[in-house]
């Protein structure tokens, strides 16, 4: 336990652990390319690990403590969080409306999921990872030759290896975040079916389709998921 606390308290050790874990997941995905769950872990690690490194070096830093120690800067941070919540809630509501075309307030868990994911696809990807990725690509052609000219050959190759590793990790994270954003409607749909839809209902109305799960609406109707499809219909309930 003490060793765990020690590396959590040390930003460099935390970064090294996260980077090693990310490299191992990608190496495992390459070695076991036919195992889908290992590839899924690699994709998730490409999203979570860089974000965790960002938190370690930016959020958990002395200058953030100084900002929180001043009243006006702490109020500014709170205001930024409120604005983020507005944008995230709008994002979640728009996506839920596009999927189900009913009031998003019926999808509590899905809304929480989407407002959380928005931090990754709406803030972290465009404002952190993409600029870092673009900077690495622009500077790599100049930085790598300079590093090869500096110091001994061993040190030069070590520095170049670190730069190439950083470029690869940032590229993998950027691509994974892009995949997450692309597949987000499908993920939101699956989260809704697993959490906000109810498979136990007392509706007695005659339906022309086979329904497995429903969301209860406020007007005596339900939003029904047609079993085996990605179709949704508003149907009368008429409970017992």
What are the tens digits of pLDDT across the range 28-57? 988 888 888 898 899 999 999 999 998 888
pLDDT, one tens digit per residue, over 150-175 is 656 677 677 777 778 888 888 889 88
**Collapsing DSSP states into helix, strand and coil, what is residue 1?**
coil
pLDDT at 194 over 90: yes
pLDDT of residue 3: 59
pLDDT recorded at residue 1: 54
DSSP secondary structure, 42-74, as one string:
HHHHHHHHHHHHHIIIIISSHHHHHHHHSHHHH
Residue 95: CB atoms within 10 A of its CB come to 21
Report the pLDDT averaged over residues 100-114: 95
Alpha-carbon torsion 42, 46, 51, 52, what sign?
positive
- Band (14; pLDDT cuts 50, 70, 90): confident
> Is the pLDDT at 191 greater than 90, yes or no?
yes
Alpha-carbon distance values, 115 to 10, 48, 85, 92, 120 (Å): 30, 16, 7, 6, 10
Give residue-wise pLDDT tens across range 61-94: 777 777 777 888 888 888 888 999 999 999 999 9
Distance CA 240, CA 235 (A): 15
């Amino acid at each position: 336990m003490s060793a765990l606390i020690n590396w959590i308290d040390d930003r460099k050790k935390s970064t090294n652990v996260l980077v090693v874990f990310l490299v191992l997941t990608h190496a495992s995905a390459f070695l076991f390319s036919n195992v889908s769950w290992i590839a899924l872990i690699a994709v998730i690690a490409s999203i979570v690990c860089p974000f965790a490194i960002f938190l370690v070096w930016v959020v958990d830093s002395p200058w953030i403590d100084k900002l929180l120690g001043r009243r006006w800067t702490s109020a500014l941070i709170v205001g930024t969080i409120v604005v983020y919540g507005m944008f995230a809630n709008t994002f979640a509501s728009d996506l839920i409306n596009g999927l189900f075309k009913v009031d998003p307030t019926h999808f509590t868990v899905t809304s929480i999921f989407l407002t959380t994911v928005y931090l990754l696809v709406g803030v972290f990807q465009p404002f952190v990872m993409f600029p870092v990725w673009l900077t690495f690509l622009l500077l790599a052609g100049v930085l790598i030759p300079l590093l090869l000219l500096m110091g001994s050959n061993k040190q030069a190759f070590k520095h170049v290896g670190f730069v190439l590793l950083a470029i690869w990790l940032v590229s993998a994270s950027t691509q994974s975040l892009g995949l997450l954003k692309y597949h987000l409607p499908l993920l939101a749909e699956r989260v809704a079916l697993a959490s906000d839809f109810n498979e136990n209902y007392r509706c007695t109305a005659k339906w022309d389709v086979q329904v497995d799960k429903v969301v209860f609406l406020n007007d005596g109707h339900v939003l029904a998921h047609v079993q085996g499809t990605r179709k949704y219909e508003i149907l009368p309930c008429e409970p017992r």
